[in-house]
Amino acid sequence: MAAENLVITQVTMSGIMVAAINYLKNNPRLTWVTKEKVTMLRILSVLGAAATSVGIAWVWNPTAHSLTITGLSLATIGAMGYAALKSFVMQEIVYQSTRNRGAVVAVPMAGQKYTPKG
């Protein structure tokens, strides 16, 4: 049961990150994020993978104006690198399987014969 939950969580977080990056790319107010800036999009994807796959937590205390970070150690950093890599690969799988390649698929109606175009 725990492994199933882990897989579902990983796919869900990857889907959320892909949707967030696609939203950023399509937002006309964010001119610094476009689909042509592939390197920057990869960096955002890696940062998103790291943020969604690591056991590091942070809490902002507005009254004391302090940021508390917990769970950060050398072992955690090593595990973070591996977990971020796994999360990034999952994001790429989700993105590549859901992106629009501009292809139009014709689905014939019942009783019609399918004839491929081109």
Ordered per-residue pLDDT tens for the chain, 118 residues = 455 666 777 777 778 878 888 888 888 887 777 777 778 778 877 777 776 666 666 678 888 888 887 767 788 778 777 877 888 888 888 888 877 766 555 566 666 666 666 5
Give the single-character DSSP code of 91. Answer: H
Q: What stretch of H or E contains 57?
A: strand 57-61
**CA 110, chain centre distance (Å):** 38
Query: What's the predicted TM-score (pTM) here?
Result: 0.48
Q: Give me the phi and psi of 58, to 5 degrees please.
A: -135, 145
User: HSE-up of 94 (CA within 13 Å, CB side)?
Assistant: 22
- The single residue listed with the structure tokens 């107010």 is 29
**CA 35, chain centre distance (Å):** 15
Residue 80 and residue 27: Cα distance in Å, rounded?
30
